[in-house]
Amino acid sequence: MSIEIQNIGKRFGNFVALDNINLTIPTGELVALLGPSGCGKTTLLRIIAGMESADEGVVKFGGEEATHLHARDRQVGFVFQHYALFRHMSVFENVAFGLRVKPKHERPSEAEIRRRVLDLLKLVQLDWLADRYPSQLSGGQRQRIALARALAVEPKVLLLDEPFGALDTKVRKELRRWLRRLHDEMHISSVFVTHDQEEALEVADRVVVMNHGKVEQIGTPDEVYSNPASPFVYQFLGNVNVFHSRVHGAWANVGADSAEGVPPKGKEALAFVRPHDIDIEHTPVAGGIEATVQDVHAIGPMVRVELAHASELIEVELTRERANVLQLAKGQCVWLKPRQVKVFSVPEVPLEEGGSGI
């Protein structure tokens, strides 16, 4: 079922949590709401679920107005960051809960409940845990049970609030791929909230980048990563080097053909370059800037080099092969050449540090 969000606004006292949000999620799509903590993404998700009411605006499910519908009548499945399983019920009873509380004339028979619950437990590959209690499960298992419980009522929409936030890295990676497969099998619309850009880029069909209660950009993972609409999106989706206008002046020679959207001459501007879009050379290159190697770290498959240019610190990521060829040492003088630069006008509000939130 499609979800339409029109002009949604929400305040908590003086704090604007959501400001005029418009978003359409077509049936069958998996959408990520991505942003730093406090950007309003969870509030938006809770408004879709009916657990929070918006101050203004309209929520529509499948074209029908649902703004004032109670959470229990919305037919949404909701998965919480901390699972929210019922502690005193076995895994089986947790999943069966949604079926058991249905009004008598809609409630399936005991045999039918049993069949459906076991099917769902098989789907999440945990049918062997049916008799256990939540306290006996690991975090990853609990979250899969929570998902099975949400799916038991055959929701039209699946909403997930930082579903993998409390899990360790390895389990997270496994579970998000598994969620993707599950979503494709279930043919429902799913929305999940995350502050982890890698998670959003890997799993979602579309990413909605949010900041300060506003939508910064909506697009496919590739669009938002390689063609960010704003400095915030650029900084939030991965590491980036920001060069202020005085440095940009030094790069003006090379910038002309590789930089996009160059603002009018003379205006202050910021140039954004991803660390893996910079080459390091030992010899002077046309348009390159001179820098001194400060530090070299080998991190897994790549090598991160920190360099100093005037007072700026520049980060460059190289492949291991390239680093082996270059043989960089601390204090060495090298030349940098960016492969891809994006230039934005200086925003009125100062940029915050991009990052991963909590």
Partner 1 sequence: MKRVLPGFGLSLGFTLVYLSLLILLPLSGLVFKASTLSFEQFWSIATGERALAAYRVTFGASLLAALINAFFGLVVAWVLVRYPFPGKRFVDSLVDLPFALPTSVAGITLATLYAGNGWIGRHLEPLGLKVAFTPLGIVVALTFISLPFVVRTLQPVIEDIEPEIEEAAASLGASRFQTFFRVLLPGIFPALLTGFTLAFSRAIGEYGSVIFIAGNMPLISEITPLLIISKLEQYDVVGATALACVMLAISFVLLLAVNALQWWSANRHQSRRTGA
Part in contact with partner 1 (CB under 8 A); list of ranges 24-32, 48-56, 185-193, 296-304: 48-56
CB-wise, 155 or 287, nearer to partner 1?
155
Binding positions for partner 1, 152-211, rule CB under 8 A: 152-153
The enclosing H or E element of 260 equals strand 259-260
Task: Find the shortest distance in angstroms from Cβ 12 to partner 1.
Answer: 15
Residue length of the chain: 358
CA distance 236 to 353: 8
Is residue 140 a contact point for partner 1 (CB under 8 A)? no
Task: Find the shortest distance in angstroms from Cβ 223 to partner 1.
Answer: 32
The 3-class secondary structure across 205-252, one letter per residue, is: CEEEEEECCEEEEEECHHHHHHCCCCHHHHHHCCCCEEECHHHHHHHH
Report residue 142 as tokens: 């609990």
Q: What is the DSSP string of 81-126?
A: TT----TTS-HHHHHHHHHHTS-TTTPPPHHHHHHHHHHHHHHTT-
Per-residue CA distances from 137 to 90, 178, 316, 322 (Å): 11, 18, 42, 45
CB-wise, 158 or 269, nearer to partner 1?
158
Binding positions for partner 1, 56-75, rule CB under 8 A: 70-74
Is residue 80 a contact point for partner 1 (CB under 8 A)? yes
Task: Find the shortest distance in angstroms from Cβ 225 to partner 1.
Answer: 32
Close Cβ partners of 198 (under 8 Å, ≥ 6 residues apart):
none
Task: Find the shortest distance in angstroms from Cβ 57 to partner 1.
Answer: 21
CA distance 309 to 135: 54
Q: Which of 26, 64, 102, 110 binds partner 1 (CB under 8 A)?
A: 102
CB-wise, 67 or 227, nearer to partner 1?
67
CA distance 61 to 71: 13
Task: Find the shortest distance in angstroms from Cβ 28 to partner 1.
Answer: 21
Q: Which of 7, 12, 53, 88 binds partner 1 (CB under 8 A)?
A: 88
Task: Find the shortest distance in angstroms from Cβ 260 to partner 1.
Answer: 44
**What value does the CA radius of gyration of the chain take, rounded to a whole number of Å?**
24
The contact pattern for partner 1, residues 4-43, with x = CB under 8 A and - = no contact, is ----------------------------------------
Q: Which of 16, 38, 51, 220 binds partner 1 (CB under 8 A)?
A: 51
Q: In the Cβ-directed half-sphere of 32, how many Cα atoms lie within 13 Å?
A: 28
Part in contact with partner 1 (CB under 8 A); list of ranges 149-157, 265-273, 284-292, 293-301: 149-157
Binding positions for partner 1, 110-129, rule CB under 8 A: 129
Task: Find the shortest distance in angstroms from Cβ 132 to partner 1.
Answer: 6
Task: Find the shortest distance in angstroms from Cβ 37 to partner 1.
Answer: 17
Helix (H), strand (E) counts: the chain: 10, 19
CA distance 302 to 323: 9
Is residue 49 a contact point for partner 1 (CB under 8 A)? yes
CA distance 144 to 142: 5
CB-wise, 97 or 335, nearer to partner 1?
97
Task: Find the shortest distance in angstroms from Cβ 157 to partner 1.
Answer: 11
Report residue 47 as tokens: 């408004």
- Which spans of this chain sit near partner 1 (rule: CB under 8 A)? 49-51, 70-74, 76-78, 80, 82, 84-89, 97-98, 100-102, 129, 131-133, 135-138, 146, 149-150, 152-153
